[in-house]
Amino acid sequence: MVVGLINANPVVYEKKERRSRQAPETTDENAAEAIDQLEIFDHIRDIKDPEHPYSLEELNVVTEDSVEINDELSHVRVTFTPTVEHCSMATVIGLCLRVKLMRSLPPRYKVDIRVAPGSHATETAVNKQLNDKERVAAALENPNLLDIVEECLSPTFA
């Protein structure tokens, strides 16, 4: 499908060590367990890049610091950094992040996805598209696009 790779020689970074998450201090089994930054990062770090056999973590597209969370307000924001400024895969990466979080988080969460400021030539347009839920819904009804998303997400369900 893709004739030439958008970024033929990406820099590959080492995966960060997986920290085991601390057990919650409260022993009240009925208390809702707060979701934290690391938990969100764990959901998305293994998403495969659409054009490389590497994960978004290995390409530094997402780091733990990409994730901002306000558990009280049920709000999550993921800021990712495309590997090149003109990355036409940015919307696909953003769609993968959104779908993964849609499937992993409780429905009460509001999720905003954006590219890092200054990291993309058409930053405003990409951000607008990624946060228009009607466009996202329509994109996910496109079987070809959904196949690409599913393939990128498959390592995260391993």
**Burial status of residue 21 (CB atoms within 10 A of its CB: 0-12, 13-18, 19 or more):** exposed
Which of 35, 38, 135, 145: binder of another protein (CB under 8 A)?
135
Q: Report in angstroms how near the CB of residue 47 gets to another protein at its nearest.
A: 23
Which of 86, 110, 154, 157: binder of another protein (CB under 8 A)?
110
Which of 12, 138, 147, 155: binder of another protein (CB under 8 A)?
138
Residue 96: count of CB within 10 angstroms of its CB: 26
By CB under 8 A, residue 103 contacts another protein: no
Secondary structure in 3-state letters for 9-22? CCCCCCCCCCCCCC
User: How many residues sit close enough to another protein to count as binding (CB under 8 A)?
Assistant: 11
118 φ/ψ sector (left φ>0, alpha ψ -120 to 50, else beta)? left
Residue type, 29: E
By CB under 8 A, residue 137 contacts another protein: yes
**55-84 binders of another protein (CB under 8 A):** none
Footprint on this chain of another protein (rule: CB under 8 A):
107-108, 110, 128, 132-135, 137-138, 141
